Structure 1
Protein backbone atom coordinates (compact mmCIF):
# COMPACT_ATOMS: atom_id res chain seq x y z
CA UNK A 1 0.00 0.00 0.00
CA UNK A 2 1.38 3.39 -0.97
CA UNK A 3 1.88 5.95 1.83
CA UNK A 4 -0.80 8.62 2.14
CA UNK A 5 -0.51 12.27 3.21
CA UNK A 6 -0.94 12.65 6.97
CA UNK A 7 -2.38 15.75 8.60
CA UNK A 8 -1.39 16.28 12.22
CA UNK A 9 -4.30 18.13 13.79
CA UNK A 10 -4.47 19.76 17.23
CA UNK A 11 -7.23 19.45 19.81
CA UNK A 12 -9.08 21.06 21.38
CA UNK A 13 -10.26 23.59 18.79
CA UNK A 14 -7.08 23.82 16.76
CA UNK A 15 -6.85 25.98 13.64
CA UNK A 16 -5.95 22.70 11.88
CA UNK A 17 -9.73 22.22 11.67
CA UNK A 18 -9.67 24.19 8.40
CA UNK A 19 -7.08 21.86 6.88
CA UNK A 20 -9.29 18.84 7.69
CA UNK A 21 -12.19 20.54 5.90
CA UNK A 22 -9.99 21.37 2.90
CA UNK A 23 -8.76 17.78 2.63
CA UNK A 24 -12.35 16.54 2.71
CA UNK A 25 -13.26 18.94 -0.09
CA UNK A 26 -10.22 17.82 -2.08
CA UNK A 27 -11.48 14.25 -1.98
CA UNK A 28 -8.07 12.57 -2.32
CA UNK A 29 -6.94 9.84 0.14
CA UNK A 30 -5.35 11.04 3.39
CA UNK A 31 -4.90 10.10 7.05
CA UNK A 32 -5.13 12.07 10.27
CA UNK A 33 -2.94 12.05 13.37
CA UNK A 34 -4.48 13.48 16.54
CA UNK A 35 -2.25 15.74 18.65
CA UNK A 36 -3.42 16.75 22.13
CA UNK A 37 -2.62 20.32 23.16
CA UNK A 38 -0.68 21.47 25.05
CA UNK A 39 0.79 18.16 26.30
CA UNK A 40 1.55 16.19 23.15
CA UNK A 41 2.22 19.13 20.86
CA UNK A 42 5.13 20.31 23.05
CA UNK A 43 6.66 16.86 23.59
CA UNK A 44 9.96 15.86 22.00
CA UNK A 45 8.23 13.30 19.78
CA UNK A 46 6.08 15.88 18.00
CA UNK A 47 8.94 18.39 17.85
CA UNK A 48 10.56 15.94 15.42
CA UNK A 49 7.62 16.72 13.13
CA UNK A 50 7.52 20.46 13.88
CA UNK A 51 10.25 22.02 16.07
CA UNK A 52 7.96 25.02 16.62
CA UNK A 53 5.54 22.69 18.48
CA UNK A 54 2.42 23.84 16.66
CA UNK A 55 -0.27 22.20 14.55
CA UNK A 56 -1.18 21.70 11.80
CA UNK A 57 1.61 19.85 10.05
CA UNK A 58 1.29 17.85 6.86
CA UNK A 59 3.51 14.89 5.96
CA UNK A 60 3.38 14.15 2.25
CA UNK A 61 3.65 10.78 0.53
CA UNK A 62 7.46 10.98 0.50
CA UNK A 63 7.73 11.77 4.22
CA UNK A 64 8.45 15.49 3.79
CA UNK A 65 6.78 17.74 6.36
CA UNK A 66 5.08 21.04 5.63
CA UNK A 67 4.03 23.34 8.48
CA UNK A 68 2.00 26.56 8.89
CA UNK A 69 -1.67 26.70 7.93
CA UNK A 70 -1.27 29.07 5.00
CA UNK A 71 1.41 26.89 3.39
CA UNK A 72 -0.59 23.70 3.97
CA UNK A 73 -3.79 25.20 2.57
CA UNK A 74 -2.00 26.49 -0.52
CA UNK A 75 -0.52 23.00 -0.97
CA UNK A 76 -4.00 21.43 -0.76
CA UNK A 77 -5.45 24.09 -3.08
CA UNK A 78 -2.77 23.34 -5.68
CA UNK A 79 -4.04 19.75 -5.75
CA UNK A 80 -7.57 20.99 -6.36
CA UNK A 81 -7.16 23.80 -8.89
CA UNK A 82 -10.51 24.70 -10.37
CA UNK A 83 -12.43 23.32 -7.38
CA UNK A 84 -10.97 24.71 -4.15
CA UNK A 85 -8.03 26.70 -5.50
CA UNK A 86 -6.70 28.58 -8.50
CA UNK A 87 -3.62 28.41 -10.70
CA UNK A 88 -0.73 30.51 -9.47
CA UNK A 89 -0.22 33.64 -11.55
CA UNK A 90 -3.94 34.28 -12.06
CA UNK A 91 -5.87 37.18 -10.50
CA UNK A 92 -8.05 34.62 -8.72
CA UNK A 93 -5.01 33.06 -7.06
CA UNK A 94 -3.85 36.49 -5.91
CA UNK A 95 -7.24 37.16 -4.32
CA UNK A 96 -7.19 33.78 -2.62
CA UNK A 97 -3.65 34.31 -1.35
CA UNK A 98 -4.56 37.77 -0.04
CA UNK A 99 -7.60 36.41 1.78
CA UNK A 100 -5.61 33.56 3.30
CA UNK A 101 -2.96 36.03 4.42
CA UNK A 102 -5.57 38.21 6.13
CA UNK A 103 -7.15 35.23 7.86
CA UNK A 104 -3.73 33.93 8.90
CA UNK A 105 -2.60 37.23 10.39
CA UNK A 106 -5.27 39.73 11.41
CA UNK A 107 -8.25 37.38 11.86
CA UNK A 108 -6.33 34.62 13.63
CA UNK A 109 -4.30 36.93 15.85
CA UNK A 110 -7.33 38.88 17.03
CA UNK A 111 -8.19 35.90 19.22
CA UNK A 112 -4.71 35.71 20.79
CA UNK A 113 -5.55 37.81 23.88
CA UNK A 114 -8.59 35.63 24.55
CA UNK A 115 -6.59 32.42 24.30
CA UNK A 116 -3.91 33.87 26.57
CA UNK A 117 -6.49 34.85 29.19
CA UNK A 118 -7.99 31.35 29.03
CA UNK A 119 -4.70 29.48 29.25
CA UNK A 120 -2.91 31.80 31.71
CA UNK A 121 -5.46 33.11 34.26
CA UNK A 122 -4.38 36.25 36.09
CA UNK A 123 -5.71 39.40 37.73
CA UNK A 124 -5.49 41.16 34.35
CA UNK A 125 -7.99 38.82 32.68
CA UNK A 126 -10.81 41.38 32.44
CA UNK A 127 -8.67 43.93 30.63
CA UNK A 128 -7.19 41.27 28.35
CA UNK A 129 -10.63 39.96 27.46
CA UNK A 130 -11.90 43.47 26.67
CA UNK A 131 -8.87 44.02 24.45
CA UNK A 132 -9.44 40.69 22.71
CA UNK A 133 -13.16 41.38 22.23
CA UNK A 134 -12.38 44.75 20.62
CA UNK A 135 -9.87 43.12 18.25
CA UNK A 136 -12.29 40.35 17.27
CA UNK A 137 -15.08 42.84 16.58
CA UNK A 138 -12.68 44.92 14.46
CA UNK A 139 -11.59 42.03 12.23
CA UNK A 140 -15.18 40.87 11.78
CA UNK A 141 -16.11 44.35 10.58
CA UNK A 142 -13.10 44.45 8.26
CA UNK A 143 -13.80 41.04 6.75
CA UNK A 144 -17.49 41.89 6.32
CA UNK A 145 -16.40 44.94 4.28
CA UNK A 146 -13.86 42.96 2.24
CA UNK A 147 -16.11 40.25 0.88
CA UNK A 148 -18.75 40.57 -1.80
CA UNK A 149 -22.31 39.30 -1.99
CA UNK A 150 -21.47 35.81 -3.23
CA UNK A 151 -22.05 32.70 -1.15
CA UNK A 152 -18.33 32.24 -0.36
CA UNK A 153 -15.45 34.46 0.68
CA UNK A 154 -14.21 34.81 -2.91
CA UNK A 155 -17.59 34.78 -4.62
CA UNK A 156 -19.25 31.88 -6.40
CA UNK A 157 -16.62 29.21 -5.75
CA UNK A 158 -15.71 27.86 -2.32
CA UNK A 159 -11.99 27.66 -1.65
CA UNK A 160 -9.54 26.69 1.07
CA UNK A 161 -10.05 30.21 2.46
CA UNK A 162 -13.60 29.25 3.47
CA UNK A 163 -12.25 26.12 5.15
CA UNK A 164 -9.73 28.17 7.12
CA UNK A 165 -12.35 30.79 8.00
CA UNK A 166 -14.70 28.33 9.68
CA UNK A 167 -11.89 26.84 11.76
CA UNK A 168 -11.16 30.25 13.25
CA UNK A 169 -14.61 31.87 13.22
CA UNK A 170 -15.99 29.18 15.55
CA UNK A 171 -13.68 30.54 18.26
CA UNK A 172 -16.07 33.46 18.77
CA UNK A 173 -18.52 30.96 20.25
CA UNK A 174 -15.80 29.22 22.26
CA UNK A 175 -14.88 32.53 23.90
CA UNK A 176 -18.42 33.95 23.87
CA UNK A 177 -17.50 37.11 21.97
CA UNK A 178 -19.06 38.91 19.00
CA UNK A 179 -22.68 38.94 17.99
CA UNK A 180 -22.15 37.62 14.47
CA UNK A 181 -25.66 38.68 13.47
CA UNK A 182 -24.22 42.20 13.32
CA UNK A 183 -22.23 40.99 10.30
CA UNK A 184 -24.87 39.45 8.00
CA UNK A 185 -22.50 38.31 5.25
CA UNK A 186 -20.27 36.49 7.72
CA UNK A 187 -23.27 35.05 9.54
CA UNK A 188 -24.65 33.68 6.26
CA UNK A 189 -21.25 32.20 5.41
CA UNK A 190 -20.85 30.71 8.89
CA UNK A 191 -24.25 29.02 8.73
CA UNK A 192 -23.60 27.64 5.24
CA UNK A 193 -20.27 26.19 6.32
CA UNK A 194 -21.62 24.69 9.54
CA UNK A 195 -24.17 22.82 7.41
CA UNK A 196 -21.45 21.48 5.08
CA UNK A 197 -20.72 17.72 5.41
CA UNK A 198 -16.96 18.31 5.54
CA UNK A 199 -17.33 20.74 8.44
CA UNK A 200 -19.61 18.32 10.27
CA UNK A 201 -17.00 15.63 9.67
CA UNK A 202 -14.23 17.80 11.14
CA UNK A 203 -16.34 18.53 14.23
CA UNK A 204 -16.96 14.80 14.69
CA UNK A 205 -13.25 14.02 14.33
CA UNK A 206 -12.36 16.55 17.02
CA UNK A 207 -15.17 15.36 19.30
CA UNK A 208 -14.39 11.66 18.79
CA UNK A 209 -17.93 10.96 17.66
CA UNK A 210 -18.90 8.86 14.59
CA UNK A 211 -17.51 10.72 11.56
CA UNK A 212 -18.81 10.21 8.04
CA UNK A 213 -16.28 11.20 5.42
CA UNK A 214 -17.48 12.53 2.11
CA UNK A 215 -13.89 12.76 0.95
CA UNK A 216 -10.78 10.58 1.08
CA UNK A 217 -10.33 9.94 4.82
CA UNK A 218 -8.51 6.64 5.36
CA UNK A 219 -8.38 6.53 9.14
CA UNK A 220 -6.29 7.86 12.00
CA UNK A 221 -2.67 6.98 12.70
CA UNK A 222 -0.75 7.44 15.93
CA UNK A 223 2.08 9.95 15.99
CA UNK A 224 4.64 7.29 16.90
CA UNK A 225 3.64 5.21 13.88
CA UNK A 226 4.35 8.09 11.52
CA UNK A 227 7.93 8.71 12.66
CA UNK A 228 9.63 5.88 10.71
CA UNK A 229 8.48 7.51 7.48
CA UNK A 230 9.98 10.80 8.67
CA UNK A 231 13.29 9.05 9.33
CA UNK A 232 13.31 7.66 5.79
CA UNK A 233 12.83 11.17 4.44
CA UNK A 234 15.63 12.65 6.58
Structure 2
Protein backbone atom coordinates (compact mmCIF):
# COMPACT_ATOMS: atom_id res chain seq x y z
CA UNK A 1 0.00 0.00 0.00
CA UNK A 2 1.02 3.63 -0.35
CA UNK A 3 2.49 5.34 2.73
CA UNK A 4 -0.10 7.27 4.75
CA UNK A 5 0.77 10.54 6.47
CA UNK A 6 -1.39 11.50 9.45
CA UNK A 7 -1.34 15.30 9.45
CA UNK A 8 -2.67 17.65 12.11
CA UNK A 9 -4.93 20.65 11.56
CA UNK A 10 -5.04 23.50 12.13
CA UNK A 11 -1.49 24.58 11.31
CA UNK A 12 0.32 21.43 12.40
CA UNK A 13 4.07 20.97 12.03
CA UNK A 14 3.14 18.03 9.78
CA UNK A 15 2.84 20.66 7.00
CA UNK A 16 6.52 20.16 6.19
CA UNK A 17 6.06 16.41 5.78
CA UNK A 18 3.24 17.01 3.28
CA UNK A 19 5.54 19.29 1.29
CA UNK A 20 8.33 16.71 1.46
CA UNK A 21 6.03 13.97 0.14
CA UNK A 22 4.95 16.24 -2.73
CA UNK A 23 8.57 16.94 -3.63
CA UNK A 24 9.48 13.26 -3.40
CA UNK A 25 6.93 12.43 -6.11
CA UNK A 26 6.17 8.88 -4.92
CA UNK A 27 2.56 7.72 -4.30
CA UNK A 28 1.20 8.54 -0.84
CA UNK A 29 -2.09 9.20 0.95
CA UNK A 30 -3.11 11.61 3.68
CA UNK A 31 -5.24 11.16 6.80
CA UNK A 32 -6.60 14.34 8.38
CA UNK A 33 -6.37 14.56 12.17
CA UNK A 34 -8.24 17.41 13.87
CA UNK A 35 -6.52 18.94 16.88
CA UNK A 36 -7.13 18.72 19.76
CA UNK A 37 -10.12 16.38 19.27
CA UNK A 38 -9.00 13.54 17.00
CA UNK A 39 -5.36 13.65 18.03
CA UNK A 40 -6.18 12.76 21.65
CA UNK A 41 -8.69 10.05 20.74
CA UNK A 42 -8.22 6.40 21.65
CA UNK A 43 -8.25 5.56 17.95
CA UNK A 44 -5.38 7.89 17.06
CA UNK A 45 -3.37 6.80 20.10
CA UNK A 46 -3.14 3.42 18.35
CA UNK A 47 -1.10 5.27 15.73
CA UNK A 48 0.88 7.46 18.14
CA UNK A 49 0.46 6.86 21.88
CA UNK A 50 1.76 10.35 22.70
CA UNK A 51 -1.10 11.89 20.70
CA UNK A 52 0.93 14.07 18.35
CA UNK A 53 1.18 14.57 14.61
CA UNK A 54 2.71 13.89 12.20
CA UNK A 55 2.90 10.13 11.97
CA UNK A 56 3.71 8.10 8.88
CA UNK A 57 2.47 4.59 8.14
CA UNK A 58 5.03 3.13 5.77
CA UNK A 59 4.04 0.79 2.96
CA UNK A 60 4.69 -2.28 5.14
CA UNK A 61 2.51 -0.95 7.96
CA UNK A 62 5.37 0.27 10.15
CA UNK A 63 4.48 3.45 12.06
CA UNK A 64 7.07 6.25 12.20
CA UNK A 65 6.50 9.24 14.49
CA UNK A 66 8.32 12.56 15.01
CA UNK A 67 9.02 14.95 12.14
CA UNK A 68 12.78 14.37 12.16
CA UNK A 69 12.38 10.60 11.88
CA UNK A 70 9.77 10.94 9.13
CA UNK A 71 11.90 13.38 7.14
CA UNK A 72 14.98 11.16 7.43
CA UNK A 73 12.89 8.20 6.27
CA UNK A 74 11.72 10.20 3.26
CA UNK A 75 15.24 11.49 2.68
CA UNK A 76 16.53 7.94 2.26
CA UNK A 77 13.93 7.52 -0.51
CA UNK A 78 14.87 10.83 -2.11
CA UNK A 79 18.64 10.57 -2.44
CA UNK A 80 18.38 10.57 -6.21
CA UNK A 81 16.33 13.78 -6.13
CA UNK A 82 18.71 15.74 -3.89
CA UNK A 83 16.12 15.97 -1.11
CA UNK A 84 18.20 13.69 1.10
CA UNK A 85 21.73 12.31 1.21
CA UNK A 86 23.46 9.05 1.92
CA UNK A 87 24.33 8.51 5.58
CA UNK A 88 28.02 9.03 6.27
CA UNK A 89 28.41 11.89 3.80
CA UNK A 90 29.13 15.50 4.70
CA UNK A 91 25.88 16.51 3.00
CA UNK A 92 23.88 14.14 5.21
CA UNK A 93 25.51 15.59 8.33
CA UNK A 94 24.83 19.16 7.19
CA UNK A 95 21.17 18.39 6.45
CA UNK A 96 20.70 16.82 9.88
CA UNK A 97 22.47 19.71 11.56
CA UNK A 98 20.07 22.21 10.00
CA UNK A 99 17.02 20.03 10.67
CA UNK A 100 18.08 19.76 14.31
CA UNK A 101 18.54 23.53 14.55
CA UNK A 102 15.10 24.16 13.08
CA UNK A 103 13.55 21.64 15.46
CA UNK A 104 15.31 22.65 18.67
CA UNK A 105 15.53 26.41 18.08
CA UNK A 106 12.92 27.64 15.59
CA UNK A 107 10.18 25.16 16.60
CA UNK A 108 10.91 25.54 20.31
CA UNK A 109 10.92 29.33 20.06
CA UNK A 110 7.22 29.20 19.26
CA UNK A 111 6.37 26.93 22.22
CA UNK A 112 5.77 29.71 24.80
CA UNK A 113 3.74 31.68 22.24
CA UNK A 114 1.46 28.75 21.47
CA UNK A 115 1.04 28.08 25.18
CA UNK A 116 0.10 31.69 25.84
CA UNK A 117 -2.36 31.63 22.96
CA UNK A 118 -4.04 28.32 23.72
CA UNK A 119 -4.30 28.49 27.53
CA UNK A 120 -6.02 30.86 29.91
CA UNK A 121 -2.80 32.43 31.20
CA UNK A 122 -3.12 35.54 33.44
CA UNK A 123 -1.97 38.86 31.97
CA UNK A 124 1.52 39.22 33.46
CA UNK A 125 2.39 35.57 32.90
CA UNK A 126 1.11 35.77 29.33
CA UNK A 127 3.22 38.86 28.70
CA UNK A 128 6.28 37.06 30.07
CA UNK A 129 5.70 34.04 27.84
CA UNK A 130 5.30 36.25 24.79
CA UNK A 131 8.41 38.25 25.63
CA UNK A 132 10.45 35.08 26.08
CA UNK A 133 9.21 33.63 22.79
CA UNK A 134 9.86 36.89 20.96
CA UNK A 135 13.44 37.01 22.26
CA UNK A 136 14.12 33.41 21.26
CA UNK A 137 12.66 33.86 17.78
CA UNK A 138 14.55 37.11 17.16
CA UNK A 139 17.82 35.30 17.90
CA UNK A 140 16.89 32.34 15.69
CA UNK A 141 15.84 34.55 12.77
CA UNK A 142 19.03 36.58 13.04
CA UNK A 143 21.13 33.41 12.94
CA UNK A 144 19.15 32.00 10.02
CA UNK A 145 19.50 35.28 8.14
CA UNK A 146 23.29 35.16 8.44
CA UNK A 147 23.39 31.46 7.63
CA UNK A 148 21.50 31.68 4.33
CA UNK A 149 22.70 35.07 3.08
CA UNK A 150 23.54 34.69 -0.61
CA UNK A 151 22.12 31.16 -0.77
CA UNK A 152 19.13 29.97 -2.76
CA UNK A 153 18.09 27.37 -0.17
CA UNK A 154 19.02 26.37 3.36
CA UNK A 155 21.73 24.00 2.12
CA UNK A 156 22.86 26.15 -0.79
CA UNK A 157 22.00 25.70 -4.44
CA UNK A 158 19.35 22.96 -4.17
CA UNK A 159 16.25 22.58 -2.06
CA UNK A 160 16.19 19.81 0.53
CA UNK A 161 13.95 18.41 3.22
CA UNK A 162 15.19 21.20 5.50
CA UNK A 163 13.37 23.74 3.34
CA UNK A 164 10.15 21.69 3.54
CA UNK A 165 10.35 21.60 7.33
CA UNK A 166 11.33 25.28 7.54
CA UNK A 167 8.24 26.57 5.71
CA UNK A 168 5.89 24.57 7.93
CA UNK A 169 7.31 26.23 11.06
CA UNK A 170 8.28 29.69 9.78
CA UNK A 171 4.68 30.44 8.78
CA UNK A 172 3.74 30.49 12.47
CA UNK A 173 4.96 34.09 12.68
CA UNK A 174 1.69 34.87 10.88
CA UNK A 175 -0.18 33.85 14.06
CA UNK A 176 2.11 35.53 16.60
CA UNK A 177 2.80 39.23 16.15
CA UNK A 178 6.17 39.26 17.90
CA UNK A 179 8.55 40.08 15.02
CA UNK A 180 8.53 41.33 11.45
CA UNK A 181 10.08 38.74 9.14
CA UNK A 182 10.98 41.54 6.73
CA UNK A 183 13.65 42.62 9.21
CA UNK A 184 15.48 39.45 8.15
CA UNK A 185 15.72 39.83 4.35
CA UNK A 186 17.35 36.48 3.56
CA UNK A 187 14.76 34.61 5.65
CA UNK A 188 11.96 36.61 4.05
CA UNK A 189 13.30 35.88 0.55
CA UNK A 190 13.38 32.12 1.23
CA UNK A 191 9.93 32.25 2.81
CA UNK A 192 8.42 34.02 -0.19
CA UNK A 193 10.07 31.64 -2.64
CA UNK A 194 8.72 28.62 -0.78
CA UNK A 195 5.23 30.11 -0.50
CA UNK A 196 5.15 30.19 -4.32
CA UNK A 197 6.22 26.55 -4.61
CA UNK A 198 3.49 24.19 -5.97
CA UNK A 199 4.07 21.68 -3.17
CA UNK A 200 3.65 24.36 -0.52
CA UNK A 201 0.52 25.74 -2.18
CA UNK A 202 -0.84 22.17 -2.27
CA UNK A 203 -0.19 21.72 1.47
CA UNK A 204 -1.96 24.99 2.26
CA UNK A 205 -5.02 23.90 0.25
CA UNK A 206 -5.05 20.50 1.95
CA UNK A 207 -4.99 22.11 5.40
CA UNK A 208 -7.83 24.44 4.46
CA UNK A 209 -9.88 21.51 3.15
CA UNK A 210 -9.96 22.97 -0.37
CA UNK A 211 -9.57 21.26 -3.72
CA UNK A 212 -5.83 20.72 -4.04
CA UNK A 213 -3.85 20.08 -7.20
CA UNK A 214 -0.92 17.76 -6.56
CA UNK A 215 2.31 18.08 -8.47
CA UNK A 216 3.58 14.94 -6.74
CA UNK A 217 2.20 11.49 -5.98
CA UNK A 218 -0.87 12.31 -3.87
CA UNK A 219 -3.30 9.36 -4.12
CA UNK A 220 -6.14 10.80 -2.05
CA UNK A 221 -7.34 11.18 1.52
CA UNK A 222 -8.16 8.30 3.84
CA UNK A 223 -10.00 8.37 7.15
CA UNK A 224 -8.36 7.37 10.40
CA UNK A 225 -10.66 4.33 10.64
CA UNK A 226 -9.73 3.20 7.12
CA UNK A 227 -6.04 3.66 7.86
CA UNK A 228 -6.30 1.62 11.07
CA UNK A 229 -8.03 -1.15 9.12
CA UNK A 230 -5.14 -1.23 6.65
CA UNK A 231 -2.70 -1.26 9.55
CA UNK A 232 -4.39 -4.31 11.07
CA UNK A 233 -4.25 -6.09 7.71
CA UNK A 234 -0.54 -5.36 7.37
CA UNK A 235 0.27 -6.58 10.89
- Aligned twin of 1:70: 68
Alignment of 1:175-194 (within 5 A): 175-194=176-195
- Aligned twin of 2:104: 105
Misfit runs of 4+, over 6 Å: none
Q: Secondary structure at the match of 1:7?
A: strand
Of 31, 35, 38, 1:37 maps to 35
- Please give the per-residue CA displacement for 1:3-23, whole angstroms capped at 9, x wherever unaligned: 110000000000000000000
Q: Secondary structure at the match of 2:40?
A: coil
Cα-Cα RMSD: 1.0
- Aligned twin of 1:225: 226
Does the 8 Å CA contact 2:130/2:178 hold for their aligned counterparts?
Answer: no
Q: Secondary structure at the match of 2:229?
A: helix
Query: Displacement of 1:197 after TM fit?
Result: 0.4
Query: Displacement of 1:230 after TM fit?
Result: 2.2
- Aligned twin of 1:56: 54
- Please give the per-residue CA displacement for 1:85-115, whole angstroms capped at 9, x wherever unaligned: 1111111111001001111111100000000
| Structure 1 segments unaligned to the other structure (5+ residues) | none
| Structure 2 segments unaligned to the other structure (5+ residues) | none
Q: Secondary structure at the match of 1:33?
A: strand
- Aligned twin of 1:152: 153
Q: Partners of 2:158 and 2:92 in 1: how far apart?
A: 12
Query: Displacement of 1:147 after TM fit?
Result: 2.8
The structure in which a higher percent of residues are helix is 2
Query: Displacement of 1:46 after TM fit?
Result: 0.3
Residue 93 in structure 1 maps to residue 92 in structure 2: yes
Does the 8 Å CA contact 2:44/2:224 hold for their aligned counterparts?
Answer: yes
Query: Displacement of 1:128 after TM fit?
Result: 1.1
Does the 8 Å CA contact 2:56/2:70 hold for their aligned counterparts?
Answer: yes
TM-score by length of 1: 0.96
- Aligned twin of 1:24: 22
